[in-house]
Amino acid sequence: MIDMSNRKKRLERLIELAQVYRNWSRRELAHKLGRDASKLVPASGNPKLDLIIELAEVLDWSVGDVTGCLWGPAEDTAHSVKTRHDTFKQLDARAKKAHASGNYRDMIRLAGKARAAATNPLERALACNRELGGWDGLGRFTRSLDVAREGLSESPVPADVRRMLQSNLANACYSLWHLTEARTIASDLINHFERSPATSVRDRRTNAFARYVLGSTHRRLMDVDPDRATVHAAKAHSMFHTAVDAFSQGEPKEQTRTAGIVRTCQGAILESEVMLGRLDPRQATAAVVDSMAEIIDLNTQPTGDLLESYGWWCIFGCNIAMRHISDERELHRLLALFTNKADEIADRLDNWAMRERVFSIQFDGHRRFIGWTGQNTPLTIDTDDIRMITGTMGRFPQFRDIGWNMLESANMVTEGIVAAS
C-alpha cells in the first residue's frame, strides 16, 4: 500500500512500480528519466515537471494520473477519510443546501465527505451525483465526467439512479463537445423511456433532461456536420419540443424549478426552425433582441437557470446571425449586441460554458470582420479577459487553440498601458 500521507514515499513507490513494469534496474530507469540514479527522488518530494512527464511515459500513464497519485485529494475531501461523525444523510443535506446557494466548492467538499460516510453503493452513487453537480457549477466538466463514471461503477444501484447518472454523464460530454458520446448515451436513455415510460419522479426528470441533451447535441452537430445540418436540425427540433412537453408534466413546483431550461429549449427551437427554413432569420434574431428588453439591468434579476436561459438565447441569436445574415454590417451589429449581453450574464452567473461560447463567437466574428473590411485590426483584451480566457482554456480543451491565438495576437490593455502582442 502507498502511504498517501507522504508525497516523497508516493514518488518512491512510483519509481519502484516503473522499475517492475519495465523490468529495468534503477540505473536503467534513471537513464531513461535523465536523472542520476542516486537522485531520482528529490529531498523535497516535489518532482520537476519533466520528471513527471517522463515517468508517465515510462508507466504508460497519463500525466494527470501521475500527478493525481503524487498529490492525491486534499485531506478534508478525500473519499476514504472520515473527518467527522456526520452521517451520509446529514452531509448530503448540507451539500444540497450548498448547491442551492451556489456554493459549489463547499458542495464538492461535502459530497466527498458524504461518499466517505456512505454505507452502501446507492449512497456512494448519490454522493457522486451530488459532487458532479458541484463540478458542473464550476464549469469543470472533465471532473464531472470522472465522478459520473465513478458513480456508475457502483453496484448494485437502482436502475433509476443509474439512468440519472447516465444523463448527467451525457450532459458533461455535450458540454465538452464530445458529441458522439453525448448523442449515444442520451439516445440510449430515450430509447429506454420510449419502451418503458417513466413512472418515478427521478425517471421523469431524467427523460426530460436526456431529451434536452440530445437536442442540444444535434444543435451543435449542425455546424460540426454541415452536410447533414438539416437532419440534425430536424432531430434537435423534435427533441426540444418533447423536452418541453416532458418538463411541463411535473407538479407546479417542479415546473417552476425547470422554467429556465424550458425557456432555453424554446430558444433552441428558434435556431433549429431557421435552419429548417421554417422561420426567417431576421424574425428569429428580432425575437432574441426583444427578449433582451426583459433583462436590461441584471442587478435586478435573480440568479439561476431562468437568467441563464437569456444568455443562451443570445448565443442562439449569434449562431443564427453567423449562418444566415449576409449583410455584414447587420451581422456585426447583432454579434456585438448578443455577445455583450451573454458576457454580462456569464459574469453574473460565473458560467464558464457560456463564456466559452462568447469567446469563440467573438473570435470567429473578428476573423469574419477582417475578411469583410480587409483590415487586420487585432482584438483588444484587458486583464479580466486574460483571466477568463485562461480559465476557459483549462476547462474546455477544444478552446485552447482559440485561446492561445487570442492571447498571442491581441492588444492587451493592462493598468492603462496598451501592449501589442
* CATH at residue 36: 1.10.260.40
Q: Same domain, yes or no, for 101 and 82?
A: yes
Residues 83 and 150 in one domain: yes
Give the end of a domain, one of 157, 191, 206: 157
Does one domain contain both 117 and 83? yes
Q: What are residue 413's phi and psi, to 5 degrees? A: -100, 110
Paired strand residues for 414: 417
pLDDT (tens, 9 = 90+) of the chain, 421 residues, equals 444 447 888 888 889 989 988 899 999 999 999 998 888 888 777 888 899 999 999 999 888 888 888 876 544 444 444 445 789 999 999 999 999 888 999 999 999 999 999 999 999 999 999 999 999 999 999 999 999 999 999 999 999 999 999 999 999 999 999 999 999 999 999 999 999 999 999 999 999 999 999 999 999 999 999 999 999 999 999 999 999 999 998 788 888 889 999 999 999 999 999 999 999 999 999 999 999 999 999 988 888 899 999 999 999 999 999 999 999 999 999 999 999 999 999 999 999 999 999 999 999 999 999 999 998 888 888 889 999 999 999 999 999 999 999 999 888 776 544 454 4
Copy the grid coordinates of residue 309.
Answer: 436561459
| Per-residue model confidence (pLDDT) at position 76 | 45
Asked whether residue 55 falls in the same domain as residue 82, the answer is no
Which residue pairs from 102-111 have beta carbons closer than 8 angstroms and sit at least 24 positions apart in sequence? 102/137, 102/303, 104/133, 104/134, 104/135, 104/137, 104/138, 105/134, 105/138, 107/131, 107/133, 107/134, 107/137, 108/77, 108/134, 108/135, 108/138, 109/76, 109/77
Does residue 272 belong to any structural domain of this protein? no
Please spell the DSSP secondary structure of 362-382, one letter per residue.
HHHHHHHHHHHH---PPPEEE
CA–CA separation, 348 and 363 (whole Å): 22
Same domain, 100 and 153: yes
Buried b (16+ CB within 10 A) or exposed e, 258-295: bbbbbbbbbbbbbbbbbbeeebebbebbebbbebbeeb
Whether 139 and 89 map to the same domain: the answer is yes
Residue 353 within a domain: no
Look at residue 279 and tell me if it is in a domain.
Answer: no
Expressed as residue numbers, the domain containing 18 is 7-71
- Counted domains in the chain: 2
Q: Is the same domain home to 47 and 87?
A: no
Please tell me the pTM assigned to this model.
0.86
Domain for residue 217, yes or no?
no
Asked if residue 338 is part of any domain, the answer here is no
Q: What residue has cell string 458532479? A: 132
Q: Is residue 387 part of a domain?
A: no
Q: Give the largest CA-CA distance in the chain.
A: 72
Among 71, 99, 119, the domain boundary falls at 71
Distance (Å, rounded) from C-alpha 200 to C-alpha 353?
A: 30
The domain boundary, picked from 126, 157, 188, lies at 157
Q: Is residue 13 part of a domain?
A: yes
Q: Which residue carries 459530497 as its cell? A: 111
129 and 93 belong to one structural domain: yes
Question: Is residue 256 a part of any domain in this protein?
Answer: no
